[in-house]
Amino acid sequence: MRILALTNLFPTAWDPLRASFNRQQFDRLAEFHELDVMVAVDFRDRLRGPRGEAPALRHARASDFTFWYPPRIGRGLHGLAWYASLVSQRRSMLRDGRYDLLLASWAYPDAVGTARLARRLGLPYVVKVHGSDLNVQADQPSHRPQIAAALRGARAVVAVSDALAGKARALGVEPGRVHLLYNGVDGERFRPGDRTAARQALALSPDAPLVLYVGNLKQSKGCLDLLEAFPAVLARQPDACLAFVGAGAAAATLSRRAQQLGIADRVMLAGARPHEQLALWMQAANLLSLPSHNEGVPNVVLEAMACGLPVVATAVGGIPEVLPGQAGILVPAHDRAALGQALGEALGRDWSREAILEHAAGFRWDDNVRRLDRILVDAARPTNA
């Protein structure tokens, strides 16, 4: 088939580290089908200029368009603005592409705009939902009816967690058209490694217990909760360290607050790192912590387990579905006291790496893409077939 994937969740020169999970999945899917990826680039990012180079693709083809929209006000019009931006800039590609299927990855405005495009082109479409597109945006009165209509009009809705699948059904999607499909992990890259060698490569202390956070530095990801909980860890293990790998608006706040707490010498802000370097950080760490306030199923949790690393995370979204007791500890969101206690407990526990790896083996990109292929092929069949 010829498939056009439409999404903001994909690496570009304006955000080279964005959504590596979609890059991995779509590039593998392109081994089965001709796949073009059309990426929406926020006009503010476009005006700021490129920040690097997008990772190379082996099979898929990627291009982009500028998403122009009214900021602050008119958010209920973003689906229409997304569609108008795409059509005005990529009219010939859409007309001449001879696509069999559209695949939208993110509910708003991407899926809403894709639904309009599908009607214009007379094509079936599939929507993939990820987390806050349903957990947050679908609760906004101006967005909810549009998201619900876009999902109901799709031939299939692919949810990365069972919790999200339930939200899609609650929006009126027929249960038979909702598919649960957990993301996968690149097992060649994310695997156990020698901790001493990894720490030498990263110039880290060879012996200090290391708690690792990987992700965007923003409040909804719980990075500030993690910092506030860390003094409780230091009370039990004074030589412990906390490393934040990522970038975002909360970076300055984290640095300032670490100084105020008197723990700046135990906290490292390592900045954003390419996806291929994350495995080395996980191999160097004692545990990963992701205390998000809402989630789908974050790939960083799956990748950490594939490295044999235990995880302390919040019981939100699909995280409880993929993080069993033998692989980590769950705590309530926003509960910094519980988080600090869990971190201390996790650092002191003798985890079975073999048990963690056995569980993590269930999340593989090969299996994921084969299932996605079947969903898309079924969705593209004529309805009277």
Copy the structure tokens of residue 34.
Answer: 């001709």
For residue 174, count other CB atoms closer than 10 A to its CB. 10
CA separation for the pair 227, 223 (Å, rounded)? 6
List of long-range contacts for 116-124, beta carbons under 8 Å, 24+ apart: 116/79, 116/80, 116/83, 117/6, 117/83, 117/86, 117/87, 118/153, 120/87, 121/94, 123/99, 124/155, 124/379, 124/380
Query: pLDDT class for 73, splitting at 50, 70, 90?
Result: confident
State the pTM of this model: 0.89
| DSSP code per residue over 74-128 | -GGGHHHHHHHHHHHHSHHHHHHS--SEEEEESIIIIIHHHHHHHHHHT--EEEE
User: Are 104 and 270 a contacting pair, CB within 8 Å?
Assistant: no
Copy the structure tokens of residue 135.
Answer: 């957990």
Spatial CB neighbours of 282, under 8 Å, sequence gap ≥ 6? 190, 212, 214, 288, 303, 304, 307, 309
**Which pLDDT score is estimated for 295?**
87
Within 132-250, residue ranges assigned H as helices are: 132-135, 144-153, 162-170, 195-202, 223-236
pLDDT at position 385 over 60: no
The domain over range 2-184+365-380 is classified in CATH as 3.40.50.2000: yes
pLDDT at position 311 over 80: yes
CA separation for the pair 280, 199 (Å, rounded)? 8
Dihedral pair phi/psi, residue 138, rounded to 5° = -70, -10
For 18-48, what is each residue's pLDDT tens digit? 999 999 999 999 999 999 999 999 999 999 9
Mean pLDDT of 79-89: 96
**Which pLDDT score is estimated for 383?**
78
Mean pLDDT of 200-222: 94
pLDDT at position 340 over 90: yes
The residue written with tokens 């545990």 in the block is 287
For 254-308, what is each residue's pLDDT tens digit? 999 999 999 999 999 999 999 989 999 999 999 999 999 988 889 999 999 999 9
Do strands 287-290 and 210-214 pair parallel, antiparallel, or not at all (unpaired)?
parallel
Query: pLDDT class for 208, splitting at 50, 70, 90?
Result: very high
Mean pLDDT of 55-78: 91
Mean pLDDT of 308-326: 95
CA separation for the pair 162, 182 (Å, rounded)? 9
CA separation for the pair 319, 322 (Å, rounded)? 6
The domain over range 195-360 is classified in CATH as 3.40.50.2000: yes
Query: pLDDT class for 224, splitting at 50, 70, 90?
Result: very high
pLDDT-above-90 percentage for the chain: 91
**Which pLDDT score is estimated for 131?**
87
Three-state SS for 232? Answer: helix
Query: pLDDT class for 112, splitting at 50, 70, 90?
Result: very high
For 122-131, what is each residue's pLDDT tens digit? 999 999 999 8
Average pLDDT, the chain: 95
Parts of the chain belonging to CATH 3.40.50.2000: 2-184+365-380, 195-360
Copy the structure tokens of residue 167.
Answer: 């939200």
Residue 234, CA atoms < 13 Å, CB-side half-sphere: 17
Q: How far is residue 371 from each of residues 168, 250, 283, measured CA to CA in Å?
A: 19, 37, 30
Mean pLDDT of 137-151: 94
**Which pLDDT score is estimated for 384?**
64
List, in sequence order, every residue forming a beta bridge with 313; answer none if it has no partner: 290, 330
User: Are 132 and 37 a contacting pair, CB within 8 Å?
Assistant: no
Dihedral pair phi/psi, residue 69, rounded to 5° = -155, 160
The residue written with tokens 């708690």 in the block is 211
